Structure 1
Amino acid sequence: MTQPTTTPIAIETTTPPGTLWSRMKSDPQYAPEHLALEAVRRLGPEAARWAERTRAERPGLSPDELAVLAVKHFTTLARVSGAVSGAAGLPGAVLDVGILAWTQARMVLHVAAAYGVDPTAPERATELLVLQRVHKYGETARIALGVAAGRERASRLFTGASGRPLTRVLITMGVRLAQMAGVRAARRVFAKMVPGAGMILGTWVNSAATKELARRARIQYRKG
């Protein structure tokens, strides 16, 4: 039987937008919260369109089958995300884990849409942070999102450098994003700073973390 295919990736959402990188850089401790908020805003509508179009093209697909398509698609994308930035050293490592966390957030929102859950709803940001194990409980995730949203609004009024050394900012941001992308991915923040270590990054590390996240997401949204 011919296997259905997912709709093409929207090129403009393959990597986090520049405005998000700027917010995370200015507020690195809350980088995962800023990413989750932006993911729901930008990627939620994409996931909803994908699910609607795929159901129209393949009306016989069950929610489980639709979710499998999303997982396969984004797991494949996650395997190569470590090579997307092409940058070396600490900045490259931070880019890599940021792209991986963004790809994983896309997958979770597409899985939600596959099971008929609105991927554009604000509560998806809370669920992203819990599923990606940034926060253990929804209540603490909601509080952190509220703090991040408030700081985002404030940053529009008070722009400028934070005054903190760039290396310290990047390390904080990288560790927080690595936590979001999966525990094993944390090694990548520092491994890429070692000459030649970048060769081992990507593939199995990204794939393992993404598959485990997919398993949790499918359990979450299958329950409705």
Structure 2
Amino acid sequence: MKADPQYAPEHLALEAVRRLGPEAAEWAAHHQPKDPDELALEAIRHFTTLARISGAVSGAAGLPGAVLDVGVLAWNQARMVLHIAAAYGVDPTAPERATDLLILQKVHHVAESARIALGVAAGRERASRIFTGSTNRPLFRVLVSLGVKLGQMAGVRAARKIFAKMIPGAGIILGTWVNSAATKDPARRARIHYRNG
């Protein structure tokens, strides 16, 4: 993602399906024959709690923690969405889940544009393995660009409120609240999407 920050959400979605899809499938299989709605709500509660914890930690750590938490929040939300898919019997390891992640997190509004962007990101991954050329972009600019793109995936509102986590004395509480709210929105959309097929 650092080498290609323009497509950071797409790289994250592809990697999430590859790495986290099997975990979500195993989790759902372990909890069968539980009611799908009950299982999805269990996943939402679990990942909302994790989001609150990372928000509190980032609020206590100041700016470095708040910037790092944007990526942690996006990864946590991807895990949650894949677990919700598995709860409803949808294969969380299928490549289509990367498209779902981008749509449900409002990175793309149309599935076709998400698929095209995923194709470009996947092509760039393959090309970067073939060509080892490095970019000379300053690390700070790369990290800022990457943070903005991951913030887009984690929820633009959460990225905007990153500065709220830096308010002395209130950062922990605000970090908890911001991450919780940013996680509940894609959770609601994912439940509707996967419950309705």
Tell me if both proteins adopt one fold, taking TM over 0.5 as the criterion. yes
Aligned to 1:67, what secondary structure does the other structure show?
A: helix
**Corresponding residue for 1:96?**
69
Question: Is the counterpart of residue 70 in structure 1 residue 40 in structure 2?
Answer: no
Note the residue ranges of structure 1 that are not aligned, 5 or more in a row: 1-23
Summarize the alignment of residues 1-224 of structure 1 with structure 2, pairs less than 5 Å apart: 24-55=1-32, 59=33, 61-82=34-55, 83=57, 89=63, 92-159=65-132, 161-190=134-163, 196=168, 198-199=171-172, 201-224=174-197
Q: When you count helix as a share of all residues, which structure comes out higher? A: 2
Q: Distance in 2 between the 1:153 and 1:86 partners?
A: 39
TM-score (norm 2): 0.90
What is the aligned partner in structure 2 of residue 10 from structure 1? none
1:139 CA displacement: 0.3
Contact 2:58/2:65, CA 8 A, preserved across alignment: no
Q: How many residues align?
A: 195
Task: State the 1:114 CA deviation.
Answer: 0.4
Deviates most, 170-179 or 153-162: 153-162
**TM-score when normalising by structure 1:** 0.80
Identical counterparts, % of pairs: 75
Q: CA RMSD in A?
A: 2.1
Aligned residues of 2:59 and 2:174 also touching (Cα < 8 A): no
